[in-house]
A and B are shown apart, each in its own frame.
Chain A
């Protein structure tokens, strides 16, 4: 599987996107199948169709939002795409409503409760699976490094915790998963942080990982070509006194991104396992050993991805809060839809703000 992962990275962002989509669909399918087995509702009229229909709607909504933001120029060119994107929310809502009405009309007298349960089950599954996968794709667009480092940290934590537990494990961690131990947990934590540091050092050197994915109008494909931002330029840091005496170096050259990677690895090791415990509890609650039997020896796709649940959301929130501000092209797009007087007002405010900061001089105005 790891070799496969490397091949896919090599193939580029579009293929990664498609893989993420497929994983999402498979996870959804696995969880819904469990729901059917639990409730013996495989023969409920319409229900399978409705679940897939809702999956389609929600995916349409999210992809439309993402595509509109990132492929702004492409969308503006094509008339039908422009209309679709302008009324995107309305169209998605209408599609969802149709599904909702179909559900109401499909309620059968003796099976009300079952149908409501499956409805709730579908929605919770959508919430977990689809939102996570879309946040993963958002992270991907930010730069492939934001996709690769978190996922590898979670995988590394899984493996390291298992090995530490295997060799040194003694104190059980939590009743839910009797095989996890404190030694595995802590050993995995340190190993993951170190791994994250090394990995980000290696990857920050290459443009193809570090640059945001953009859609190039002329070549009609995705390009990852840019001037690396501050995060990915080597800077010198003065080591605090404590470590200075140990290592004997005064300064160290690191990428600022590596400091962020410490935060990401810490999250992966400390909170990621909770996603795993959640999935274990779920399996125990519904008395299943594995989510499915897709991967021999490993169980279903969900078994592999259970710790990733929270990671994607965390990375997305982290990026939005600490790394970058809002997306400039999206802002321009929003700006263009405002009324002229509002546009003028914003323009003047921006102008005075930039002049205050000294970014704008009278000479530059003339250009």
Chain B
């Protein structure tokens, strides 16, 4: 039977906080007697106290070890610690950006795998924080259940989205057809199995902890898994819909930091004392300009602009198509004041660049809120970084916290303003209907198309 140690902090008004306990080690000797007498009471009672205490009573979680590679440490040993930190961050930033370019070069499939890998790592980081907060690392079954739920939700989402795009591939294989047709039912059954396992695993003294971890897992899934799947859906729409938003967010991060570093004076929000209004506004303008230029450069290449399709003959992803209206240069006449400034009558732009202004605006204005949310989260749970995966930068989540809302925004933007529903999905659903319904729809469609002049009424002899 597990014995969870009494957490530091005597239940007294403003009592002294106990020394931060090391992970897995016993608390100080003077707490032993208290723990013994407390064995009688339910552990949940102690957590009842814990919930209502203010933040200052919560002991800090000790930072994990430094993971900077030795080689970097040696190279920078001469510099003072502030500049050393700057250099480490800078080098890692460049490394990450070049890795990003390499993966773009390798194609959309690799990007999908990358997104999936990041999702799993983010999930792992957040769940680990949950374990540390609740000291529930030894709870029976819980780690298994968290990973199991991650698997279920991923299975559900991949089935919904991937099946649409791989319709030709799927039609060939019998077993896949069965899986697709009853996909929702199978996913639901899998989830239910996890739910029942959770209920059966409730242990008398740890109910509250278990419910907390259950909720923690679900909220984490909501945040990380849905975002990553929307990212992949955006990717399938065309790599440019994936690249421009993500680069806008990264650019906003970097330029806001630079502007803040050189010109920063007025603090922006109490949550993040290092952010300044100058950084915010400077970042906004530079991100819009950057997005504009990046959109211009990328719109030329079919590789970025075309929706990703799976070709069954070649058995791989292809991005080859006739670029849509959005990606063809059009002439816009400038409003008068710009005319005077630039001394030109018209300018030829890709319509996509106008959309990119909207995307960049969102990235600079609302994206930071995702960052503040993550800062508040770190402050609430007294952690400095989400993890120590990337030296100098913290964990993966630290890099991706501003992206939270971006992926959802881009997805909603695309479905509302750019395209309608996916044609192959509509077709697939049509073929599943009852024959009478299909006939009805056929007649409705025919009359509609003839009305619009798309279909010429045939004359049969």
Contact = CB atoms under 8 A, between A and B. Distances in A.
Given A90-B412, A321-B184, A359-B438, A334 B420 contact: yes
Contacts of A103: 373
Given A111-B54, A331-B441, A342-B423, A286 B409 contact: no
Interface stretch (A13-21, A63-71, A113-121, A149-157): A113-121
A285 B44 contact: yes
Nearest to A103: B373
Contacts of A339: 420
B415 A113 contact: no
A281 B207 contact: yes
A285 B434 CA distance: 49
B202 interface: yes
A282 interface: yes
Contacts of A342: 423
Given A127-B218, A314-B188, A325-B429, A345 B454 contact: no
B52 A39 contact: yes
Interface in A143-196: 174-176
Given A116-B380, A331-B441, A351-B442, A110 B449 contact: no
Q: For the side of the interface on A, what is the size category?
A: 35 or more
A104 B369 contact: yes
Most chain B CB within 10 A, of A110, A317, A362, is at A317
Contacts of B52: 39-40
B444 interface: yes
Interface stretch (B102-110, B209-217, B278-286): B209-217
A112 B379 contact: yes
B442 A107 contact: no
A351 to B, nearest CB: 7
A360 B210 CA distance: 59
Contact of A344 (B51, B439, B454): B454
Interface residues of B, number: 79
A331 B409 CA distance: 25
Contacts of B202: 176, 277, 281
A3 interface: no
A198 interface: no
B270 interface: yes
A310 B199 contact: no
Interface stretch (A4-12, A93-101, A239-247, A290-298): A93-101
Interface string B259-270: 000000000011
B426 interface: yes
Contacts of B431: 353
B185 A113 contact: no
A86 B238 CA distance: 23
A340 interface: yes
Nearest to B428: A326
A317 B187 CA distance: 10
B182 interface: yes
Contacts of B196: 271, 274
A38 B427 contact: no
Most chain A CB within 10 A, of B381, B427, B460, is at B427
B166 interface: no
Given A310-B192, A362-B460, A347 B271 contact: no
A112 B55 contact: yes
Interface in A341-367: 342-347, 349-351, 353-354, 357, 359-360, 362, 365-367
Contact of B54 (A89, A110, A325, A357): A110
Contacts of B247: none
Contacts of B441: 328, 331-332, 335, 350
B416 A89 contact: yes
A100 B405 contact: yes
B347 interface: no
Interface string B363-391: 00010010011001101110000000000
Contacts of A304: none
B56 interface: yes
B10 interface: no
A140 B207 CA distance: 35
Given A104-B369, A104-B372, A317-B185, A282 B432 contact: no
A338 B58 contact: no
B330 interface: no
A177 to B, nearest CB: 10
Nearest to B413: A90
A89 B412 contact: yes
Contact of B452 (A101, A322, A340): A340
A278 interface: yes
A354 B434 CA distance: 11
Nearest to A127: B218
B80 interface: no
B77 interface: no
A351 B427 CA distance: 12
B26 interface: no
Contact of A325 (B182, B381, B408, B432): B432
8 contacts: A116-B377, A116-B380, A278-B198, A281-B207, A310-B195, A314-B188, A343-B454, A359-B438
The 5 closest A-B pairs by CB, nearest first: A112-B380, A337-B420, A285-B207, A321-B185, A90-B416
Interface of B: 44, 48, 51-52, 54-56, 58, 181-182, 184-185, 188, 192, 195-196, 198-200, 202, 204, 207-208, 210-211, 215-216, 218-219, 222, 269-271, 366, 369, 372-373, 376-377, 379-381, 405, 408-409, 412-413, 415-417, 420-421, 423, 426-427, 429-435, 437-446, 448-449, 452, 454-455, 458, 460
Given A113-B380, A354-B435, A354-B439, 13 more contacts: A40-B51, A93-B409, A112-B55, A123-B222, A281-B202, A285-B207, A310-B195, A318-B185, A328-B440, A332-B441, A334-B426, A337-B420, A359-B438
